[in-house]
């Protein structure tokens, strides 16, 4: 539970500048929108700064001996028009900014989802679901919040800084240059604060991923039942509190990072108008400047330092956001182990001939799950896989569905290496009813129709009836429209397996894999299902992980696996005559079932 906190991930290559380059590349499809945004921001900034000079002129009118109310009114009307125009442009600017930001985040979420759909099952078996949800949900949302307004704010502040400083030079070049010399002193502490925030942001989101994974595990139906069954509520509360305390500590440290720097920035910004009035006030008294110029310079000076301070804060925000991009790029950089070749061919109307040609596979580097396995299955025949736990039976079914590719050798369908076929050809040709049945939190109709999305309601009902679901459907309050609950917890184990069988019947694949498909059914229902499955298996290739004697007896070929190797093969009678591993398994596993089954057979 607490171990294996992090699955192996592909760290993004390069420095933070490379990550920035990749992040900026996400905006490339919106370059024309970005250009329009630049023009809107430039116009808005110019109007905003021009409005300051208009306000300063109003002050000049008040101090001029020949000033008039008419001139004040005219100046105010000009100021009002500028403010309204700027506000309207601001709305358009915000809309354009949202189109860009939301579009980028939409594409980022889509890319993450699509890439995670393509990565190997190996990734999902080594990574907790909550951690994946944290990256796709929490991290992308956090990026959205930091990115949506950052670009516009940065551009606005840069243009404000440049234009305002240019105007200040024309009013009083000495004080303007002094301001220019002081401002860069804030660059170094800004970068340092940003780096600290980046590290804390990464730690915070890592811990949030851990908390999400913990909640997903313990607050799911299965997790909640396990916690209650073993009386571990207090233990889980302490685990959650530990993670929650760490999040609280990281949040406080992140919010307080650079607090002295931020305080200094605020103090300096507040002192600027006072310095401007003090220095330039002397020039007014000496007759070298007008009050109008002093007011304009003081307001512009505040506009200069305000954007510079904002740029400093944006820099820290951008640096801390790199931690989020790092986490997202880690998933986008995950290798795709099972991919479709550019020249892959589509196989329609597969016959169902299967071949394993010296196929080997290892989940981890130091242990072979399959070691040089070879066998052939004729179309329409049944293959039974028998062996102790961990022998490689399920691994064979995984390779047949191309969840993984063999590390050596080949797996072929109708003579074609699965790696040479399109992925949808493989998934369309191979259907499976696995040992662990997964149902969506949706209606029974939707769960069965997942086998073939274009199936009609009548076809779904026919498949459900063929799987022995007719009596259950009659008992349910809403029939096929009944919601089955998370992972199908409103259904019994046998009912869930029948839904999975109905799903496979509806898919109607040339190759059918059954992994303990009737393990949760009683004897009567098993006979019903076996009759339906017998009809389904007719004319198609069936691969069964055998746990019942009836399956073994009806198989055209039995493979006995041990330690990832095929140690025996043949029909039931032939393998019993060998008196090897199969005979031993037969005596151990099928002893209780053998007598009644053979008795029925001889009746």
Domain end marker among 273, 302, 332? 332
* Segments forming the whole domain that contains residue 377: 354-602
49 domain residue, yes or no: yes
139 pLDDT more than 90: no
Apex CA 406: angle with CA 543 and CA 341, to 5°?
Answer: 105
| Residue bearing the bigger pLDDT, 330 or 360 | 360
Tell me the pLDDT tens digit for each residue of 390-410: 899 999 999 999 988 999 999
In a shared domain, residues 362 and 294: no
pLDDT at 306: 64
**Residues 190-201: what's their mean pLDDT?**
70
195 pLDDT more than 80: no
In a shared domain, residues 359 and 463: yes
Render 464-488 in DSSP notation, one character per residue. HHHTT-HHHHHHSTTGGG-B--GGG
| pLDDT-wise least confident of 176-190, 248-262, 272-286, 452-466 | 176-190
227 domain residue, yes or no: no
160 domain residue, yes or no: yes
Number of domains in the chain: 2
In a shared domain, residues 358 and 326: no
In a shared domain, residues 473 and 590: yes
Q: What is the 3-state secondary structure of 444-465?
A: HHHHHHCCCCCCCHHHHHHHHH
500 domain residue, yes or no: yes
232 domain residue, yes or no: no
- Residue 490 parent element (H or E): none
In a shared domain, residues 327 and 361: no
In this prediction, what percent of the chain has a pLDDT beyond 90?
A: 13
Q: What are 487-496's contacts with CB under 8 Å, separation 24+?
A: 487/220, 487/221, 487/222, 487/438, 487/439, 487/441, 488/437, 488/438, 488/439, 488/447, 489/221, 491/439, 492/520, 493/437, 493/520, 494/520, 494/521, 494/522, 494/525, 495/469, 496/437, 496/439, 496/520
pLDDT at 67: 59
221 pLDDT more than 70: no
pLDDT at 87: 87
pLDDT at 297: 75
In a shared domain, residues 434 and 581: yes
In a shared domain, residues 143 and 105: yes
The strand pair at 408-413 and 565-570 is best described as: unpaired
What's this model's pTM, rounded to 2 decimal places? 0.68
Band the pLDDT of 129: cuts 50, 70, 90.
confident
What integer best gives the mean pLDDT of the chain?
78
Apex CA 124: angle with CA 233 and CA 24, to 5°?
Answer: 110
In a shared domain, residues 327 and 368: no
Contact 188, 313 (CB under 8 A): no
Sign of CA dihedral 35, 38, 42, 48: positive
DSSP three-state, residue 101: helix
- CA-based end-to-end distance of the chain: 52
CATH number of domain containing 402? 3.40.50.300
Beta bridge partners of 513: 432, 543
In a shared domain, residues 162 and 298: yes
179 domain residue, yes or no: yes
Look at phi and psi of residue 353 and say left if phi exceeds 0, alpha if psi is from -120 to 50, else beta: beta
In a shared domain, residues 161 and 285: yes
Q: Which residues 6+ apart lie within 8 Å of 224 measured at CB?
A: 218
9 domain residue, yes or no: no
In a shared domain, residues 568 and 489: yes
Contact 413, 513 (CB under 8 A): no
pLDDT at 103: 85
In a shared domain, residues 561 and 529: yes
CATH number of domain containing 323? 1.20.1560.10
**Residues 188-196: what's their mean pLDDT?**
67
Band the pLDDT of 483: cuts 50, 70, 90.
confident
pLDDT at 8: 41
At residue 374, φ and ψ (nearest 5 deg) are -135, 135
pLDDT at 596: 45
Q: What is the 3-state secondary structure of 16-27?
A: HHHHHHHHHHCC
271 pLDDT more than 60: yes
**Residues 296-300: what's their mean pLDDT?**
74
């Amino acid at each position: 539970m607490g171990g294996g906190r992090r699955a192996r991930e592909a760290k993004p290559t390069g420095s933070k500048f490379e990550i920035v380059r990749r992040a900026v590349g996400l905006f490339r499809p919106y370059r024309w929108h970005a250009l329009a945004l630049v023009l809107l921001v430039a116009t808005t900034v110019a109007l905003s700064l021009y409005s300051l000079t208009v306000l300063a002129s109003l002050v000049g009118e008040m101090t001029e001996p020949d000033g008039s109310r008419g001139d004040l009114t005219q100046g105010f009307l000009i100021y009002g028009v500028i403010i309204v125009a700027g506000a309207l442009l601001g709305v358009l600017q915000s809309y354009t900014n949202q189109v860009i930001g939301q579009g980028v985040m939409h594409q980022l979420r889509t890319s993450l989802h699509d890439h995670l759909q393509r990565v190997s099952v190996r990734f999902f078996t080594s990574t907790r679901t909550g951690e994946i949800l944290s990256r796709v949900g929490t991290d992308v949302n956090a990026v959205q919040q930091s990115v949506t307004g950052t670009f516009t704010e940065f551009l606005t502040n840069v243009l404000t800084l440049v234009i305002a400083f240019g105007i200040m030079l024309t009013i009083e070049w000495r004080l303007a240059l002094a301001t220019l010399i002081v401002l860069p002193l804030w660059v170094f502490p800004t970068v340092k604060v940003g780096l600290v925030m980046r590290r804390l942001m990464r730690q915070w989101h890592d811990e949030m991923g851990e908390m999400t994974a913990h909640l997903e595990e313990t607050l799911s139906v299965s997790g909640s039942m396990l916690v209650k069954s073993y009386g571990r509520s207090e233990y889980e509360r302490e685990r959650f509190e530990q993670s929650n305390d760490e999040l609280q500590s990281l949040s406080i440290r992140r919010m307080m990072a650079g607090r002295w720097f931020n305080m200094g920035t605020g103090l300096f910004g507040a002192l600027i108008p006072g310095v401007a009035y003090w220095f330039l006030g002397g020039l007014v008294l000496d007759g070298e400047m007008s009050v109008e110029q002093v007011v304009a310079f003081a307001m512009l000076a505040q506009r200069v330092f305000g954007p510079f301070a904002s740029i400093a804060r944006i820099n820290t925000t951008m640096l801390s956001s790199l931690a989020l991009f790092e986490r997202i790029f880690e998933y986008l950089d995950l290798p795709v182990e099972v991919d479709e070749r550019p020249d892959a061919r589509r196989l329609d109307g597969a016959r169902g001939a299967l071949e394993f040609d010296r196929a080997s596979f290892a989940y981890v580097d130091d242990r072979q799950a399959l070691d040089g396995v070879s066998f052939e299955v004729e179309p329409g025949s049944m293959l039974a896989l028998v062996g102790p736990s961990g022998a490689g039976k399920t691994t064979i079914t995984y390779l047949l569905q191309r969840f993984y590719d063999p590390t050596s050798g080949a797996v072929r369908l109708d003579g074609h290496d699965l790696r040479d076929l399109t992925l949808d050809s493989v998934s369309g040709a191979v259907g499976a009813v696995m040992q662990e049945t997964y149902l969506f939190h949706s209606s029974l109709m939707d769960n069965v129709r997942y086998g073939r999305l274009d199936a009609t309601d009548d076809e779904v009902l026919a498949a459900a009836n063929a799987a022995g679901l007719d009596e259950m459907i009659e008992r349910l309050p809403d029939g096929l429209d009944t919601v089955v609950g998370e992972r199908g917890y409103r259904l019994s184990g046998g009912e869930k397996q029948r839904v999975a069988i109905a799903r496979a019947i509806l898919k109607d694949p040339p190759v059918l894999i059954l992994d303990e498909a009737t393990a949760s059914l009683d004897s009567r229902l098993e006979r019903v299902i076996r009759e339906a499955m017998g009809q389904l298996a007719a004319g198609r290739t069936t691969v069964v992980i055998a746990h019942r004697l009836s399956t073994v007896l009806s198989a055209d070929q039995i493979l006995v696996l041990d330690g990832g190797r095929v140690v025996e093969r043949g029909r039931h009678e032939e393998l019993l005559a060998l008196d090897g591993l199969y005979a031993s398994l037969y005596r151990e596993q099928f002893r209780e079932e053998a007598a009644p089954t053979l008795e029925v057979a001889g009746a």
